[in-house]
Structure 1
Amino acid sequence: MRYLTQKVTRGAVVKAVTTSGTVNPVITVQVGTYVSGVIQARYCDYNTKVTKGQVCAKVDPRPYQVIVDQSRATLGVGQAQMVKDQADLAYAKVAYERNRRLVATKSVSQDVLDSSKAALDRAMAQIGLDQATIALQQAQLHAAEINLGYTDIVSPVDGTVVSRSVEMGQTVAASFQTPTLFLVATDLTSMQVDTNVSESDIGSVNGGDRATFTVESFPNRTFSGRVTEVRQSPQTIQNVVTYDAVVGVRNQDQALKPGMTATTRIIVDERQDVLRVPDQALRYQPGGVPGVTGAPPPVDLNGGVRVWVFRGGEPQMVVIMPGLDDDSFTEVIKGDLQDGDEVIVGGATPKPSP
């Protein structure tokens, strides 16, 4: 009987969750339009560096300029009407004061005085109405000026245009939903990977965990980052519930582009410089070992498991206390094993000679 063996070694045992994700900018701002109309000019394109307040496109302002002019003219009419009504009020005051003095000398009747008092009251009320009308017209003019200002599509942040969905001459309608004209990434030197971690693994992923990933564009380069957030919102993909674990990464050379697919490895636990055995050694079950008599002990001995060590030309059973398992190696917390021991991972019976 011959055996397949591997050596017990010292090294790292790293437990990780492997998943896929998408590289995205940390903050992406959607730049839309509040007003409808025809795009008269476009000043920004893909990869354009923009600053806060920079005009990226312009909607034809003429319809909105007409509304501003109309509102301004209406306000002028209201203000002129108020000047006229103020003159009427001044006359009504004079007439009332004159009739009030004349009625004392019985030069005019009381009815004339009452009529002049009513005219004064109406003139004063008209002034109040004019003031309210002017306030309304000023508000309408202000709203029209705001809409005119919205014909300039400006970037709300400093950043880089990563997407554009508008051309000159295109008509945009903002009646029910604000259309997105540009996507602006604020800082492409800081990126994040939105990974899809299955519900069976998400319990072991925590903020601050180290992570590495590769992208197809750079297969020989490994990027490093850390989990910055584990989002609570579930996503169902092909009947599998996943959660978004966000991995933050620096992108100083801007090698990472938005939308790249990343194969991500999130390190959830690790042990450095520990005694470890291959996982195959824990799964090996002897099928009649020479020199071993009696039934084998149970697999679990107070939390321990058995492995078979090849010593002195014969297999010997050793009970170990396992620790962290990374699907390749298992940490040995306690047990009669030493660095360099040969553990049996398989057995093969040689073919009989012909």
Structure 2
Amino acid sequence: MKQVIKRWLPRVIVLAIVAGGAAFLWIKKPWASKPAEITFNTVQVSKGTIAAQVTANGTLSAKGTVQVGAQVSGRVVELHADFNDKVKKGQIIAKLDESVLKAQIDQAQAAYDLAVANLKKSQVTANDAKRQLARQKSLQEQQLVAGATVEQYEVSLETAEAQITASRASISQASANLKQAKTNLGYATIYSPVDGVVLSRAVELGQTVASSLQAPTLFTIAEDLAFMQIDTSVAEGDVGRLKEGMKATFTVDAFPGKNFEGTVRQVRNSAAPGVTATSGVVTYDAVIDVENKELALRPGMTANVTFVLDKVEDAIKIPNAALRFKPSREQMMALFEKFGGGRRGSGAGSGRRGRGGGELGSGAAG
């Protein structure tokens, strides 16, 4: 018996201490002596513009861009246009060395002359074959030659006439080659195909350009920089909210703090290239027309675009955080006691929401 008491006594003492401490804390209730303090932030209700928006990034580019290339190979001997130069349609902007092309014309001309001479020769041969055949037929009537001899002269005449046909075909081919050689000589002078501004020049004086399978690009010309466009990448979750004719604003890093305006011309149906199975990011191209009469904007600039989905002028504005606030019962009672009056438990109803705040709707507390 003594051993049992000795073994359980320490445990009983510990339990008694714990129970006594719990009872003491319960009676004192130190947390009840100071009621919980509830704090709130208040803001002044204001009036202003509320706009629902979608943001995206894009790149400025000219609406019409023409790449000017060389259709023949040769060394650049003249350059008449440089970066940012304004050019007119039909203006000479570069020339290639013509010496090789002129030599090709001489060769084509010689081949043509030879073909003409061969035709005349074939015609003479054919006329002679006709005379010989007529003479042999006359002798056959007099039974002076055999029929086989006459047949041989007939074959000679047919051969001569076939040679005439071949000579005429050679003339046609030589004429086409001569025409092509003259055309190639014309390609050595490079003209601007449009009125515009030179965006880039990819050739230097003295450089040799090779036109084999694909014409090398020498110049890139923008037709008119007074009217540009922005190709934006809009997330698939937002693209359904965009419509043609919708207004958009954008900024560029070159002019911080300045807003430019544009109009949505097209929202393309196909997803933009670059979607990967790993990222899963799908975007669509929304094309925006932009007026650039001051020529401040330049192709290649990055535009931070904001599409204006809806806009309300002179709306009663409250912070969006207030529209998301859901107070507990204790917080509601504290609010009621602090400010008094009003409809107990009624929250602020919201109208349109946008960047910078929301519109106070018909559910506002009175």
When normalised by structure 1's length, the TM-score is 0.81
Residues 282, 101 of structure 1: CA spacing in aligned structure 2 closer, same or farther, 3 A cutoff?
Answer: same
RCO greater where, 1 or 2, for CA within 8 Å and sep 6 or more? Answer: 1
SS in 2 for 1:6: coil
Shift of 1:230: 2.2
In the alignment, does 2:280 pair up with 1:253? no
- For 1:42-75, what per-residue CA distance to the aligned partner results, in whole angstroms no more than 9, with x for missing partners? 1111122222222211121211221121011101
In the alignment, does 2:296 pair up with 1:262? no
Name the structure 1 match of 2:185: 148
Name the structure 2 match of 1:36: 73
Shift of 1:151: 1.7
* Root mean square deviation of aligned Cα: 2.7
Separation in structure 2 between the aligned mates of residue 237 and residue 108 of structure 1, nearest angstrom: 90
Correspondence for 2:357 among 329, 342, 346: 329
In the alignment, does 2:158 pair up with 1:121? yes
SS in 1 for 2:82: coil
More helix by share: 2
Separation in structure 1 between the aligned mates of residue 63 and residue 275 of structure 2, nearest angstrom: 23
Shift of 1:102: 3.3
Give the % identical residues: 38
Separation in structure 1 between the aligned mates of residue 96 and residue 171 of structure 2, nearest angstrom: 30
SS in 2 for 1:227: strand
Shift of 1:109: 3.0
- For 1:1-41, what per-residue CA distance to the aligned partner results, in whole angstroms no more than 9, with x for missing partners? 55323355554331112222222111111111122221111
1:222-301 pair list within 5 angstroms: 222-231=259-268, 232-236=270-274, 239=279, 240-274=281-315, 276-287=317-328, 288-289=330-331, 291=333
8 Å Cα contact 1:17-1:267 kept in structure 2: yes
5+ unaligned residues in a row in structure 2: which ranges? Answer: 1-37
Q: Which moved more, 1:108-117 or 1:165-174?
A: 108-117
8 Å Cα contact 1:289-1:315 kept in structure 2: no
In the alignment, does 2:244 pair up with 1:203? no
Shift of 1:275: 5.0
Residues 5, 146 of structure 1: CA spacing in aligned structure 2 closer, same or farther, 3 A cutoff?
Answer: same
Shift of 1:272: 4.2
Q: Which moved more, 1:6-15 or 1:23-32?
A: 6-15
Please identify the structure whose Cα radius of gyration is greater: 2
The one-letter code matched in structure 2 to 1:291 is M
Separation in structure 1 between the aligned mates of residue 302 and residue 339 of structure 2, nearest angstrom: 49
Name the structure 2 match of 1:216: 253
Separation in structure 1 between the aligned mates of residue 351 and residue 172 of structure 2, nearest angstrom: 78
Name the structure 2 match of 1:305: none
Shift of 1:161: 0.6
8 Å Cα contact 2:349-2:364 kept in structure 1: no
Shift of 1:169: 0.7
- For 1:218-270, what per-residue CA distance to the aligned partner results, in whole angstroms no more than 9, with x for missing partners? 22432111011223241338944433222111111211122222221111233
SS in 1 for 2:321: helix
Separation in structure 2 between the aligned mates of residue 266 and residue 125 of structure 1, nearest angstrom: 76
In the alignment, does 2:233 pair up with 1:186? no
- For 1:162-217, what per-residue CA distance to the aligned partner results, in whole angstroms no more than 9, with x for missing partners? 11111111122222433211110001110112222233322222221101112233
- For 1:281-307, what per-residue CA distance to the aligned partner results, in whole angstroms no more than 9, with x for missing partners? 1222324236379xxxxxxxxxxxxxx
What is the number of residues matched between the two proteins?
Answer: 323
5+ unaligned residues in a row in structure 1: which ranges? Answer: 294-307, 342-354
When normalised by structure 2's length, the TM-score is 0.79
